[in-house]
A and B are shown apart, each in its own frame.
Chain A
Amino acid sequence: MPEETRGIRGGAGDVLLMVGTTKGAFLFRSSGSGAWEVDGPHFPGEEVYAMALDARSGAPTLWAAPGNAFFGTTLRRSDDLGATWSGKDERPVKFPEGSELALKRIWQIRPGRDDERQRMYLGVEPSCLFESTDGGDSWAPVPGFLNHEHRQYWQPGNGGLCMHTILPDPGSHDRVLVAFSTGGVYRSDDGGASWRPRNVGVRAEFLPDKHPEFGQCVHKVVHHPSRPERLFLQNHWGLYRSDDWGDQWTDVANGVPSDFGFAMAMHPHDPDTVYIVPLESDGFRCTPEAKLRVYRTRNAGASWEPLTEGLPQEGAYETVLRDALDTAPTAGGGVYFGTRSGKVYASGDGGDSWSLASDGLPPVVCLKAAALP
């Protein structure tokens, strides 16, 4: 096994990519020159489906959720950009006795609102929302979600019954929206005490009833903090927008080669701009026509355009998973993604052009981008 490495040294404004793979995590840093410093693997041999940078305090804290099928998954923290990781012997994320549930995987690490610096969220498998109110030292499932009456009906797909989206309302401490596969979108308007499905208009191709109240296989939901009520959703077949926090969804698959896909990311500055990577079908799950194309809308889904400059346009049978596309608030708009074939692509101009940041990594299952404070 390779040795765990010593972390990165970054300056304010540098772009940090946290790349989780099936065989460990890698940290990429760039000061904007186009060159990348790569550090890793961290947690060699372990799958890392969730990573995050929490910079709310002004000092960067890295979070990662390494695990494997033998010994389970846990949460690790670094306060020195990966030089050291705490929590090796700790298992702070557990379902309570009596719940008859056991943690399989952590899919999402989400720092809370800016004005709640001690609050953090996790989305886990089997689908549940965990919460910490002490900066990540201790965790507990949100009872209203843990004990939801629909739980017995939620079904896993091949990727598991995973909660992959957590969107706290920046303007209300009471509202949080989550999404998971399968189950769909649920929203709480009372601080997590109760949760209602919000899937009207979202179809479920794999059920006899194509428009059930819940049970949809939603792959990702994003929004922009400046306009939090407007949501964009990549479904297991279907591309949607909601203008009212998910009360109603409208199809916006206007000009995409397929409305199937996993990944979706919001532009860091522009609330009308969203990125996706369409895949040919749920059977093939590779880029259509063997062309690696990111699609961008700049008008909130009214139309989508392919972004191809610097991306391979022949022989590219690529897959980009739900958490492997992200953006960072650089001046030009940084957009980044990783593929199951172990490539990482970067764009510093909002997706107009791309370059290969790395090739030959293990399969990329998550990529989170941030600007260092």
Chain B
Amino acid sequence: MSVTVVLPSQLRELAGGRTSVALDGRPGTVGEALEALRAAAPGVYDRIVTERRELRPHINVFVGREDIRWSGGLGTPLGEGSEVVILPAVSGG
């Protein structure tokens, strides 16, 4: 069983219409999963990670229902079958 990255509706077109991307190679952390996502869907990766390899400010990443802000950031560990959920943050006006 691999790690799955669930994409927000705004980015699915960049992943060939897929709602999620199953990653090979069993990444051990969220950061490794995003690097793997880069190979699988480079257009998606560029929209959630900056050229400094930091999450864009208004992108939230969850492992299951846990925001990675509170669980170790990009170093958050992943297990077998982990689901990494990417969601744009709200942008108030």
A residues with a Cβ closer than 8 A to B are 153, 155-160, 162, 181-182, 206-209, 217, 219, 236, 262, 282-283, 285, 319, 321-322
Contacts and interface: CB of A to CB of B under 8 A. Distances in A.
Contacts of A157: 58, 89-92
Given A158-B58, A283-B10, A208 B90 contact: no
B83 to A, nearest CB: 9
B65 A262 contact: no
Nearest to A321: B93
Given A158-B58, A283-B10, A209 B65 contact: yes
B64 interface: yes
Given A206-B60, A208-B62, A155 B89 contact: yes
Given A207-B87, A208-B62, A285 B93 contact: yes
Interface string B65-93: 10000100000000000000101111111
A217 B88 CA distance: 13
Contact of A206 (B65, B70, B87): B87
13 contacts: A153-B70, A157-B90, A158-B93, A159-B92, A162-B92, A181-B92, A182-B92, A206-B89, A207-B62, A207-B87, A236-B90, A322-B92, A322-B93
B35 to A, nearest CB: 22
B85 A158 contact: no
Nearest to B65: A208
B92 A208 contact: no
Contacts of A322: 92-93
B62 A282 contact: no
A160 B92 contact: yes
Nearest to A164: B92
Interface of B: 10, 58, 60, 62, 64-65, 70, 85, 87-93
Given A206-B87, A208-B85, A217 B93 contact: no
Contacts of A285: 93
Contacts, number: 53
A127 to B, nearest CB: 11
The DSSP consensus for interface residues of chain A is loop
B30 to A, nearest CB: 14
B65 to A, nearest CB: 5
Nearest to B69: A155
Nearest to B91: A158
B87 A208 contact: yes
A160 B93 CA distance: 8
B43 to A, nearest CB: 17
Contacts of A159: 91-93
Contact of A181 (B70, B85, B90): B90
Given A208-B62, A208-B64, A217 B87 contact: no
Contacts of B60: 155, 206
A207 B62 CA distance: 9
Nearest to A208: B65
B12 to A, nearest CB: 14
Nearest to A181: B92
A160 B88 CA distance: 15
Please provide the 4 A-B residue pairs with the shortest distance between their CB atoms, ordered closest to farther: A159-B92, A158-B91, A157-B92, A157-B90
A156 B60 CA distance: 11
